Chains A and B, each alone.
Chain A
Amino acid sequence: DTAVSQTPKYLVTQMGNDKSIKCEQNLGHDTMYWYKQDSKKFLKIMFSYNNKELIINETVPNRFSPKSPDKAHLNLHINSLELGDSAVYFCASSRDVSNQPQHFGDGTRLSIL
């Protein structure tokens, strides 16, 4: 019973392609996040949604487009993939936007050839 689940776990694709990563949480949380972890292990917030509304949008290329169809899902679509997009992408959720722990998914390792 994974609390925050992401699919796929691995994604290997060519430069220029478009791909999506899906995330679902069964914790009943209101807030969801996307993080990028680069090859040096640095974790950086990309987006956050609260009750399906975008509340954090960091300096991310507009090739990245998040979508939250409902509170339990937050997907990430990436257009025109570039070599620099290679990273591990983590989805996370928290009960709400206050000082609550964030629970991470297992990550999606994206490799661009």
Chain B
Amino acid sequence: GENVEQHPSTLSVQEGDSAVIKCTYSDSASNYFPWYKQELGKRPQLIIDIRSNVGEKKDQRIAVTLNKTAKHFSLHITETQPEDSAVYFCAARTGFQKLVFGTGTRLLVSP
């Protein structure tokens, strides 16, 4: 079945820096790749997603890139702010209609 690996597991940056989180997936049939942000004690919230027919997508300070050949996708956050601190999860939707999540990246943005 699908396996999604996510790196790094923790990421510390200074306010204003950029942050990059990378994920790889194993199932070449996967065609939808969302990213979720989960603050402490809260629910996962979708922040951006990308479909397999697109290579890049941007929404203000957040961007996601997808390389189908290499089977990896990345989340880029520019001009980080303390409120960006959270756990970020990547996911891949398999041909069996289920989302498989990565193991999460704890992002800490220091003022």
Listed in ascending order, the chain A residues whose CB lies under 8 Å from chain B are 40-45, 48, 55-56, 58, 90, 97, 99, 101-107
Contacts and interface: CB of A to CB of B under 8 A. Distances in A.
Contact of B46 (A43, A45, A102): A102
Given A43-B44, A43-B89, A101 B49 contact: yes
B99 A102 contact: yes
B31 interface: yes
Given A41-B87, A56-B98, 12 more contacts: A41-B103, A44-B101, A45-B98, A45-B99, A56-B97, A90-B43, A90-B44, A99-B51, A101-B46, A101-B49, A104-B45, A106-B43
Contacts of B97: 48, 55-56, 97
Contact of B43 (A55, A99, A107): A107
Interface of B: 31-32, 34, 36, 38, 42-46, 49, 51, 87, 89, 93, 96-101, 103-104
B87 to A, nearest CB: 6
Contact of A105 (B43, B46, B87): B43
A66 to B, nearest CB: 14
Nearest to B34: A101
Contacts of B49: 101
A105 B38 CA distance: 12
Given A43-B89, A99-B31, A101-B49, A56 B44 contact: no
A107 B39 CA distance: 13
A73 B33 CA distance: 26
Contact of A106 (B42, B96, B103): B42
Nearest to A50: B97
Contacts of A97: 97
